[in-house]
Amino acid sequence: MPALDGIRVLELAGLAPGPFAGMMLADNGASVIRLDRVNPPHQPSPDVLIRNKASIQIDLKTTGGKDLFLRLVKQADVLIDPFRPGVLEKLGLDPTNVLLKLNPRLIVARLTGFRRDGKYAKMAGHDINYLAVSGVLSMLGPSPRLPPDGRPLPPTPPGNILGDFAAGGHMCVTGIVMALFARSRTGQGQVVHANMVDGANYLATMPRISTKIPGQWDRPRGENLSDGGCPYYNVYECKDDGKYMAVAGLEPQFFAELIKGLGLSDRPWMAKREDRAVWPAIADAFRRRFREKTRKEWEAVFDGSDACATPVFTHAELEAAGYEQRPGVTLTGTPALDSGPGSGWDVEVLGLGEGGEQALAQWMGWKKGRDYALANGGLQVKDASRL
């Protein structure tokens, strides 16, 4: 039985971090209903984080739609709110004064990009904006000084993995699970506040503190031990263009294995690897040597060794090789649901209303036409006296 079997989750439809949080819960056995709007707003990409979910459409601005929603809230364990601050309150659905009074065991997980207070609270934003004001974006990417004016490159956007999914969705799930654990002792639900600014800043605890430790992260971006500044913690192109090897020979014993595999053990400056003055020479030697063999040839050299040297695969390569997608963590007694072959590679979307009738039957014992009906694109209570 999955760890979250029996947990009922309402996920108000939103962008990436909210759906990711819902998918994490669903993957571990929770019953998740995505609540779609009658007229969904434009999204830059489809929601593909839909494993093990169902969908219903509700117009929360109508009396019948709101009534149906509140009846679901009574039976829910978790509500995922991905909206900007104040949206639920404007709908008359204040979490503390309405939802938790209706269902004291409910956990309302409110996930925003910016903090809920301060000058950015009401502003729109995306992953890169949240990383920017958290201080984390300033730490990412190389910073060579380029001609003609010698200005360094700006920080590098790392995709939306760090903000949306790690600092956003995953942090939100951590809060939900802690709230569920607390409820198991107190019987009371609560509001979980998560935002990507604080989430990213929290994830950066070690490197942030390390900026005050000499030799760790105390130099400008791209010049430190683990951000691309160190030549033996970096990525190098192989003989076959566009193929790379990643090296991380930080510890002396691993560094010794690395330079042994590269055939560079005899270089006099290898014994002074911690002297930054020799880093340019080491980097140049590594660049030249890795270009002498293909990635596959370097794999043959380093596979099975402690050189901390591995190939840089693309997702396309992993898919072609039959790489098996697995849960982020494995629980031996309460494992996650089996996602099935192809899951994690194939594009799948959840149609509006898909699986909704079955979910409402399981949650509430409702039947379409008897207990609820479709009106103007959204589900509404049909006969309140019968519910």
Please list the active-site residues. 164
Residue 114 one-letter amino acid: F
Q: CA gyration radius for the chain?
A: 26
How far is residue 52's CA from residue 27's CA, in Å, rounded to a whole number? 7
How far is residue 232's CA from residue 249's CA, in Å, rounded to a whole number? 6
- Residue 13 CB partners (closer than 8 Å, separation 6+): 19, 34, 35, 36, 37, 40, 47, 82
How far is residue 111's CA from residue 121's CA, in Å, rounded to a whole number? 12
User: Which tokens in the block code for residue 99?
Assistant: 């939802």
- Alpha carbons within 13 angstroms on the beta-carbon side of residue 48 total 9
Residue 190 one-letter amino acid: Q
User: Which tokens in the block code for residue 100?
Assistant: 């938790």
How far is residue 60's CA from residue 88's CA, in Å, rounded to a whole number? 10
The DSSP secondary structure of 137-198, one letter per residue, reads GGGSS---EETTTTEEPPPPP-TTIIIIIIIIIIHHHHHHHHHHHHHHHH---EEEEEEHHH
257, 307 contact by CB (below 8 A): yes
- Residue 261 CB partners (closer than 8 Å, separation 6+): 301, 302, 305, 307, 309
User: Which tokens in the block code for residue 141?
Assistant: 């990417």
The DSSP secondary structure of 268-291, one letter per residue, reads GGGGGTT-GGGHHHHHHHHHHHHT
The DSSP secondary structure of 22-69, one letter per residue, reads HHHHHHTT-EEEEEE-SSPPP-SS-----TTEEEEE--TTSHHHHHHH
